[in-house]
Structure 1
Amino acid sequence: MTSSTDSRRAYHHGDLRRAVLTAALDAITTDGPAALSLRDLARRAGVSHAAPAHHFKDRAGLLTAIATEGFDLLATTLADASDLSDAGVRYVRFAMDHPAHFQVMFQPDLHHPTDPALLAAKSRAGNRLREAVADAVETDDPRLAGIAAWSLAHGFATLLLTHNLTDPVGDRAPEDVFRSLADLLFAT
């Protein structure tokens, strides 16, 4: 564990922002975003209670940073998808690997939904999904096909994270189950 002196030293080296984000992600994973407070994060990160506000201004600012980081990570995750099914599998894997980001990203009431950096990151991730849909599905309404693909991946990931698919998935890898669903519905 870092001492208060080490935390202050890290702050002066530019590590405070990351330390607070990491503490926030841990807290969200454990207790959900509703339980998040800047004062608690300062305690967890070993810094003064005012230090997180220096980088994030308020709770919504912190959650905006988490959502932005999440959409950037998702865009990177989707970048090398080989097809629509693979994009969906990567989406599900992202949710499993980054559950705190995933919880915050799609709850605009938690963050500043019009933040320019957030909008840019969200657009990059959305473009990746739209590209995968456009390459896989011939339709007169690509937007509707995109909604269907996103709904399948997002719904599956959400149900998986909330343990609602424990029995149906059983001992099979969630990625394999999702791929079977995508193949069934989109004939990829």
Structure 2
Amino acid sequence: MPLETLSTVMGQTYHHGALREAMIAAAETILERDGIAALTLRAAAREAGVSHGAPAHHFGNLSGLLSELAASGFLRLRQHLLDAVNNAEPSQHMTGLSRGYVAFARSAPGLFRLMFRSEQLDWSNQALSAAGGGAFAMLLPEASAAEAGTMPLTLPLLGSAMAHWSMVHGLSTLLIDGRLDAVAKELSPGIGVEALVEEILRSGVPQSR
């Protein structure tokens, strides 16, 4: 039976689309558990319980698999941003975006790092470029208008978005790398990393919109 029609391995039955999703999920499991160095096509196939040829059939090579995994990460990041904004007061729009960004990074640190390792990703991949662009558009001060195509992407608008992204991405990276832990120890007893993060967000995020 052709792989693209059906694959039954280890007692599980995968249709074509489900098999692809299973391999992406397996790749993320390896990434978070063992790190990027352990993530190979064979390892992903083994983790998903499918034949060694399955990843190459669906993704071509390791860059193809990593690019699709990163695309799924950008879709999830965008959803985190949307959820955070929906739960924030209008005056706290930008802080809400920042909280969503930080929450995503902390929820999947391995995936977060992969999403910005451009040397391992194929940005000509349509799914990756679309998902990455959609997530970045959420960081624009007027995200809804920009996404709808009703607002030109001016230099001030792009500069504001890049400044916000630089701050929140740097904060997220410091957090998942454990760099804020030592700093937080210098604070008074009972005041830890979470309080420091909130203070950074209050101090560093402009409240436009």
Q: TM-score, normalised by structure 2?
A: 0.76
Letter in structure 2 aligned against 1:15: A
SS state at 2:118 partner? coil
* Root-mean-square deviation (Å): 2.5
**1:93 Cα deviation from its structure 2 partner:** 0.3
Total equivalences in the alignment: 179
Task: Give, as a single letter, the amino acid of the residue that structure 2 aligns with 1:47.
Answer: V
Distance 2:22 2:38 in 1: 18
Residue 108 of structure 1, aligned match among 118, 125, 138: 118
* Aligned residue identity for 2:100: R
Contact 1:89 1:178 survives alignment (8 Å) = no
Structure number with higher helix proportion: 1
Whether the 8 Å CA contact 1:133–1:145 is kept in 2: the answer is no
Structure 1 distance, partners of 2:25, 2:204, is 38
Contact 2:180 2:193 in 1 (8 A): no
- What is the letter of the counterpart of residue 129 of structure 2? L
* Contact 1:71 1:105 (8 Å CA) reproduced: yes
Please say which structure displays the higher CA radius of gyration. 2
The one-letter amino acid paired with 2:33 is T
Alignment of 1:102-181 (within 5 A): 102-131=112-141, 141-169=156-184, 172=192, 174=194, 176-181=195-200
**Which consecutive segments of 4 or more residues in structure 1 shift more than 6 A?**
none
**Unaligned stretches of 5+ in structure 1?**
none
| Equivalent of 1:32 in 28, 35, 49 | 35
Cα pair 1:64 1:118 within 8 Å, conserved: yes
Contact 2:181 2:193 in 1 (8 A): no
Q: Which amino acid aligns with 1:180?
A: E
Report sequence identity in percent: 34
**Distance in structure 2 (CA, Å) of the matches to 1:185 and 1:153:** 9
Unaligned runs of 5+ in 2: 1-7, 146-154, 186-190
Aligned to 2:201: 182
Relative to the length of structure 1, the TM-score reads 0.83
Tell me which of the two structures has the higher relative contact order, counting C-alpha pairs closer than 8 angstroms and 6 or more residues apart.
Answer: 1
